[in-house]
Amino acid sequence: MNRTAKLLLLAGLFLICGAGAIFQEQAERRRQSTTPAVLYAVIWKQIAAFRDDDYASAYRQVSTGFQEKFNIEAFSDLARTDYPSVRRARRVEFGAVRHEGQHAVIPAYLFLDDGDIIPCIYRLVNEDDVWKIDSARVLRRWPAGRRMGGVRA
């Protein structure tokens, strides 16, 4: 292979790498510019499905990785046993969205009728420009009367 062919091959490889980097940066910018309302809607769909005992619809909101770990039956059992507070929540409020690459982390606060608050951390993942729930971690319940830190607006 002569020197000109090598230089053209090398230039072509640099162009391909550059185009890939630009494409990746644009995809990341698109994910980062997703409004919180879009992300909250994914969680709301799952909460509404849980309240209606529609576990198939709730299952459609979870990521492919989650579906590989749990089939629909295991997911339904998990939802009934580990997340009954989601069904009983009088209202749900969301905290600020934090982006971590292809993931978005969203705190949610489940307000129960007895005044207790159950914080929950949702982790969503972007799969082919569609946001899915990758995990939901229920934290320790805050008893009624305990104030949440921060300023109410």
Residue 153: pLDDT band with limits 50, 70, 90: very low
Which token pair is 12?
């072509």
- pLDDT, position 31: 46
Domain residues of the chain, as ranges? 1-33, 35-138
- Of 42-51, 63-72, 108-117, 136-145, the one with minimum mean pLDDT is 136-145
Q: Is the pLDDT reported for residue 99 higher than 80?
A: yes
Helix, strand or coil, per DSSP, at residue 77: helix
Nearest to 58 by CA among 68, 71, 45, 73: 45
What Rg do the C-alpha atoms of the chain give, in angstroms?
Answer: 21
The percentage of residues in the chain with a pLDDT greater than 70, rounded to a whole number, is: 81
Tell me the pLDDT tens digit for each residue of 35-83.
999 999 999 999 999 989 999 999 999 999 999 999 999 999 988 887 7
What CATH class has 35-138?
alpha beta
Average pLDDT over residues 110-119: 91
Give φ, ψ of 39 to 5 degrees: -70, -45
